[in-house]
Structure 1
Amino acid sequence: MNKSLLTNLLALVVMACGWFFAVPWLWAMGLFAFSGAVTNWLAIHMLFEKVPLLYGSGVIPARFSEFKQGIYDLIMGQFFSKENLQRLLAEQHDQDVVSLKLAPVIEAIDLSPAFDALLETVQKSSLGGMLAMFGGAQMLVPLKEPFIENLSRSLIELADSPEVQQQIKNQLHQGDTIDLLQPKIAAVVEGRLAELTPEMVKDIVQQMIRQHLGWLVVWGGVFGALIGLFSSILPAI
């Protein structure tokens, strides 16, 4: 079941029980838990969707150009670096390459900067202030591995696509030097990235991290419940 929905429903049940049985501390726990969970759910929703009258919402699709540029820099800086192209040219010189096995190259690339860039985007968004209340950016660290795994898989799928494979092999067969080959490959990569729309970028990031962001809603409810409990107990002390 959806973690966010379950947390909100549980908070509502606790709040209803507190009201029905006239238990102030239980009512406070449910109320604060619900407010914490709903607030974090709304913040996560605002990352991906534009909400009318709420400034800063829809930050992921709004900054899709920066996302595409980051992917381009990553691919050209590490994936198609001069060293990797020299290796490909050496393979082409030795034999007629039927299929370029680029997966090992991608798997060896450090994709941490891509996650760091996404983390910076989240921190600068409307969710940043709420994250600070629950441990800051450290709350998102568990998302790093699944994000990198998904991004690596996406890059491998891109590299193995017939269009990209054929374009690279065509350039290799022309016998160009590295300095001439890099701009041509860059043009191919730019062409593929140009096909991305804000909606597609939003879907890509959602697939990578949204299910894991549900824990923010859970912890928002937990901390909210604790705050509600303390707020009802403290006056009696």
Structure 2
Amino acid sequence: MDNSSIGSFSWRWNATRIDRTQPRIVAPSDAPGRGPHPPILREIRNRIMTQISSAEMPSVEADTVPRGMISNLMSLTLMILGLLTTLEGADPDTTLPAAVLVAGPWMLAAGVFGFAGGITNWLAVKMLFDRVPLLYGSGVIPNRFREIRATIKGLIMTHFFDEEYLRRFFDEHGSQLTGGVSLEQELTALLASDQADEAIEAELELLKQGPMGMMVKMAGNDMLKVIIKQFMGGLVTRIAPVAEARLRDKAIDVPALRVQVDRLLEVKLEELTPEIVKGMMERVMREHLGWLIVWGNVFGAAIGLLSRTIAVHWNIGGVP
């Protein structure tokens, strides 16, 4: 399968825009002046609607290992111990061993710089997911959740339900698909292929050049690709068995099928509230963000030790 099977990058919003003034989803063939909807597409539409309407969004699991909190507490403890030891060393009547008194300033330097690095990274993560009063630019994900929803839908429709690819696939493999398994395997393989990764990667690179560029860069391409593939995996599982049962029937209208999928995605994505979008992003990114805080403590402590080494070597006073 070559790159052309993934589909072009052009947007097709006008052809698939939903009329929000209607209380129900109206199929193209139900509009005035059109003929009756083909039974195949009607069945596909009803089955998919039933599955998607009853689906639940994945819940966010608790972080079993709060690495960031543990590393911050370790740096804070080291800072307090270093401060107490240094203050005790200033007392001429101290009873602490000489080795402890010598280690005090080093512990203080590592603790101060490590805690500063860790708490700064923790605050950056907090600002990414939550709105922090008086901090401009915080709450990036909740503030841009509509753009995230539109991005997910656009990537799915452009790369995995491209009309040209669907037509070619039905023409070449329609006579071989009879059991409701092959189409699902093909689409799943397409979703896991390098071509799909390249297509998603290219689209994300284009998004970085637009208004959403900062958000995409902060989330990371790998994280967004995982979210898109997770969303597509469940959709493929629901759609494939229904579509495969009727592949031999040449009455399948690919454009109408794309419109139905587009509208089903529209309905499903409308359920993505800011809290759910935040949870989806956090579910994928939590482990990596925890390590970001850990490494903030590590590199901060290393900088503190380097600063102390320079101060001791050149006999510079006033440097931790």
Give the TM-score range, shorter chain.
0.7 to 0.9
- Structure 1 position 105 matched with structure 2 position 182: no
1:51 shift after superposition:
1.6
One of 49, 63, 71 as aligned partner of 1:7: 71
Q: Secondary structure at the match of 1:21?
A: helix
1:33 shift after superposition:
0.5
Q: Structure 1: how far apart are the matches of 2:286 and 2:234?
A: 21
Q: What are the ranges of 5 or more consecutive residues in structure 1 without an aligned counterpart?
A: 129-136
1:174 shift after superposition:
8.5
Which residue in the other structure is 1:206 paired with? 282
Rg bigger for which structure? 2
Q: Structure 2: how far apart are the matches of 1:7 and 1:122?
A: 32
For residues 123-138 of structure 1, the aligned pairs below 5 Å read 124=214
**What is the percent sequence identity of the aligned residues?**
34
CA contact (8 A) 1:36 1:220 kept: yes
- Give the count of matched residue pairs: 220
Cα offsets for 1:143-181 (capped at 9, x unmatched) = 82x6534542331112223xx458867997692544444
1:72 shift after superposition:
1.3
Q: Secondary structure at the match of 2:126?
A: helix
1:38 shift after superposition:
0.7
Which residue in the other structure is 1:189 paired with? 265
CA contact (8 A) 1:11 1:33 kept: yes
Q: Structure 2: how far apart are the matches of 1:218 and 1:45?
A: 15
Distance change (3 Å), C-alpha of 1:16 and 1:114: farther
Which residue in the other structure is 2:236 paired with? 159
Which residue in the other structure is 1:133 paired with? none
Q: Secondary structure at the match of 2:251?
A: coil
Q: Secondary structure at the match of 2:122?
A: helix
| TM-score normalised by the chain length of structure 2 | 0.58
Q: Structure 2: how far apart are the matches of 1:122 and 1:73?
A: 14
Q: Secondary structure at the match of 2:74?
A: helix
Give 2:164's aligned amino acid: E
Which residue in the other structure is 1:216 paired with? 292
Distance change (3 Å), C-alpha of 1:121 and 1:14: farther
Distance change (3 Å), C-alpha of 1:155 and 1:181: closer
CA contact (8 A) 1:46 1:59 kept: yes
1:55 shift after superposition:
1.4
Q: What are the ranges of 5 or more consecutive residues in structure 2 without an aligned counterpart?
A: 1-64, 87-103, 315-320
CA contact (8 A) 2:153 2:266 kept: yes
Q: Structure 2: how far apart are the matches of 1:122 and 1:156?
A: 25
- Structure 1 position 29 matched with structure 2 position 110: yes
Root mean square deviation, CA, Å: 3.3
1:193 shift after superposition:
1.6
Q: Which has the higher helix share?
A: 1
Q: Structure 1: how far apart are the matches of 2:212 and 2:303?
A: 25
